[in-house]
Structures are given as C-alpha cells and as structure tokens.
Structure 1
Amino acid sequence: MDAHLNDPTLSSSGQAIDLTAHPLTWAQVIQSMPDRVRELEVGSGKGLFLQTAAQADPSRHFVGIELSHKFANRAAQRIFKMGLSNVSLVCGDAKKFLSQVVPDQAVQCVHVYFPDPWWRNKHKKRRVLNEQTLQDIQRVLPLGGQFHFWTDALDYYEHICQEVMQHTQLAGPRYVPERGVHHAMDYTTHFERRARLSCQPVYRAIFEKQ
C-alpha cells in the first residue's frame, strides 16, 4: 500500500507514512496540525492507544511509529474509518525516526508500551530501547515532558529503569496505578488487555524531564 507523503494526515489518506520508501521530515508529519501539542507512541502495533488517546483529547496531535507495514496500515485504516483527524502514523524504524526526524523538544510525551525485550544476546541489538534511544527520548521532550514505559516483564522493567537512570537525567520512575476497565476494549494497548485478562502483572512507570 503506497503512502501519500504530500498529505500524510490519516483523515484524508487512510494510510501510514512509509519512512522506508521516502525521505521524511518532521514538517511533513505535522503539516496538517503545526500548532498542536504532540505525543509520540513508539511501536504503535494495532493502534489501540492512538485511537483511544486521540478520541479522548482531540486538541492534541498523536504520532505513532510502527515497524510492521501490516500493523501500521491496518491501524491507519481503522483510524481513518473512525474519522480521527488528529493522528499521524509512520511506518519504519523507530530508532531512525527518533534520531533523524523528530527535532528537539517536539513532543510533550513519548509512550513505549510492551516493547519486545529480545532476551537473547544475539538479538539485543533489535531492542527499540537502548542508550541512544533513551537519550533521544530525553532530547525530544521539553521541560516537564514525560516518558511513559510499560511492560509485562519484570526483569526488563527493572533493566530499563536502570538504563534511564544511568544514561539520562529524566526523573523517576513514578508509579502508575492500574485503572479500572469499563468495557471489553478499555485498555491502553492490546498487549495490556491480553496481560490483564491472563491475570499477569503489568509494570508501569513515568519519567519526567526536569
């Protein structure tokens, strides 16, 4: 499915912007909503967070970056059908997107929910969260900006908390209480839904740039 870089808003294209096929600038990502407060989700998956967050706060512009073409375009089509004009979804490498496209202090919040921990040593280079990515997250946040991190793997949660403290000046982690569920899809992401329905704990943290 081809991306329309001349009009990257999902309300008019219903397709993800393909970072792998075209050079991309931040101005192209935000061109339809240049003056909005922005939030970025790294690893948008099926797009549940983007859908619910965009519905809850139409005044904000939500940007998602997802590596999988299949998931990115399916999420984009779903968001398009819902009529959400305050979402932009990019398909590509989140590490490249953060380091090469997103400028300093450009987003109020960065959300990373349930990233693959890639436990094997030979696979650790695939982790989306590493020293450079965490430093980029700190860079793209303004003072008071927040980094939200959730996982269902306790060892990985503790590892990332330690990495944040070691490689950034972000304050935290701050505990995030589990909220109640009011309907079948009242979850932040599909991974959270699966974990909670299986009675598995979810570890949540917020870090803040001070």
Structure 2
Amino acid sequence: MARRAPRKPSTSLDLSRHFHLLDAVSTPWQQLALFAREAPLEVEVGSGKGLFLASAAAQTPERNFLGIEIGRKYAEAAAARLARARAENAAMLCGDGLRLFREWLPGESLAAVHVYFPDPWWKKRHKKRRVMNEGLIRDIQRTLVGGGTLHFWTDVEEYFQATLELISQVANLSGPIAVEERPAEHDLDYRTHFERRMRLHGEPVYRAQFVKPAAPAST
C-alpha cells in the first residue's frame, strides 16, 4: 500500500532545531550537535511523517529520539511535526540510514533501534535494496548498548520471516520476542501512520523485538 505524500511545511515554521542533513553532521559523532543534552538515544530508520518520534518523545522525555528519512519531503514533514509539538528531545535527519549507522554512530551508543514498515522491494531483483540487510543488522548489534532493543514491524510476512532468519544468522540478539497488538485508544494511538492504515483496513501486522545481551561482568 503506497504511502501518501506529505504536505509541505509552512514557511513560517522554524525547523532549524529539528531538521538536519546527514552530510552536515560532523564526525566524530556527538549527541550535543543535535540535542540540548546527552541522554539515552533511540534511532528510528525510515521515520515517514514522524508520528512515532513525536509520540515517543512526549511519552519518554528522559530519552532522546532521532529519526532518519531518505526522502526530503518526508523528513521535513516529520521535523515539522516535532517543531509543532515543541519536542526538544527529538530531531530528524535527511539522508541514508545505512550510512548513519556505518559512518557516524559509534559502538554501544544506542538504547534502541526502531524499523517500522520498511519498503519490502517486492521484485526478486530488488530485494538487495531492503534496508534490513546483513550490514545494517550487524551495525545495529554493534551500536546497541547491552540490554538495548531492536523493534522491527512489517505488514509483509515474507519480509518478516526472512529478516528474523537473517538476524538469527548474523547477530547475537536475544529474540524474537512477540509484541502483542493492543487496541487503539484514539485516532492517532498507533506506532506509525502506516500501522494505522493497515489496521483500519483489517490487514495483519507482524511485530518482533530483540534484545542485545548485556556484557558479562568483569571479575
């Protein structure tokens, strides 16, 4: 199901605190380049219109939330949502999520990684373009702290099963832990806009969580 293009943000809305280009982010990585304070950091790969980021930032103010989206229109729309919500603990990057993990994020720097409804790339010759590939999965394990979590949801059962199998082959993550569907309490009480659309159409959603084992205590 194709996603609907977002509206262009109002030119009167200041996005300077919430919208950044990945290539403009300096290295080595520093949270303080994007946030006002250091805090446990969660990253969402493919943030779409930013519903998860805005909700999570409001519900968990003691953490920082960073989204990355390759499509500039979507990245700007998500940043606009954060700006309207005055979410001081959330920001958007526009760029390639694979590069963010590969080139910027250091080891054991993330409390959680979220990947919700990534493009399934249906055609066999295009499946190599899937974001949940071996390289990203290895980078997710590297960047998670001990006890950190990976959240993966999709509406495509084949993609779900293939990803679970790949994680079991290339990463040392405990799981999959099943995530139960809960009833929505209001019209935007969903993880993402895409989850809302799928559930309102009666379509299944496949959910799994993984945990990085804590390092053994030194003796």
Per the TM superposition, whether the score is higher than 0.5 is yes
Alpha-carbon distance in 1 for matches of 2:197, 2:17: 27
Q: 1:41 aligns with which of 16, 39, 44?
A: 44
Cα deviation for residue 63 of structure 1 reads: 0.5
Alpha-carbon distance in 1 for matches of 2:73, 2:166: 31
Aligned to 2:102: 99
Aligned to 1:135: 138
Q: 2:117 aligns with which of 114, 118, 127?
A: 114
Deviation track 1:45-81 (CA, whole Å, cap 9, x = no partner) reads: 1000001000101111001011100000111012111
Deviation track 1:125-182 (CA, whole Å, cap 9, x = no partner) reads: 3211100100000000011110000001111110000000001011110000011211
- Matched to 2:85, the amino acid is M
Alpha-carbon distance in 2 for matches of 1:164, 1:70: 31
Aligned to 1:126: 129
- Matched to 2:113, the amino acid is V
User: TM-score normalised to the size of structure 1?
Assistant: 0.90
Q: Is the 8 A contact 2:18 2:82 kept in 1?
A: no
Cα deviation for residue 88 of structure 1 reads: 1.5
Identity of aligned residues (%): 45
Aligned to 1:196: 199
Q: 2:91 aligns with which of 72, 88, 92?
A: 88
Cα deviation for residue 35 of structure 1 reads: 2.4
- Matched to 1:192, the amino acid is E
1:169-180 to 2 correspondences below 5 Å: 169-180=172-183
Cα deviation for residue 24 of structure 1 reads: 3.4
Alpha-carbon distance in 1 for matches of 2:34, 2:22: 16
1:200 aligns to what SS in structure 2? coil
Cα deviation for residue 11 of structure 1 reads: 8.1
Cα deviation for residue 39 of structure 1 reads: 0.5
Which stretches in structure 2 are left out of the alignment for 5+ residues? 1-7, 214-219
Alpha-carbon distance in 1 for matches of 2:75, 2:30: 20
Q: Is the 8 A contact 2:66 2:93 kept in 1?
A: yes
- Matched to 2:96, the amino acid is D
Asked if residue 75 in structure 1 is aligned to residue 78 in structure 2, the reply is: yes
Q: Check 1:49–1:31 CA distance in 2 against 1; reply closer, same or farther (3 A cut).
A: closer
**How many equivalent pairs are there?**
201
RMSD: 1.9
Aligned to 1:7: none
1:207 aligns to what SS in structure 2? strand
Which stretches in structure 1 are left out of the alignment for 5+ residues? 2-9
- Matched to 1:183, the amino acid is H
- Matched to 1:110, the amino acid is V
Alpha-carbon distance in 2 for matches of 1:35, 1:16: 18
1:103 aligns to what SS in structure 2? coil
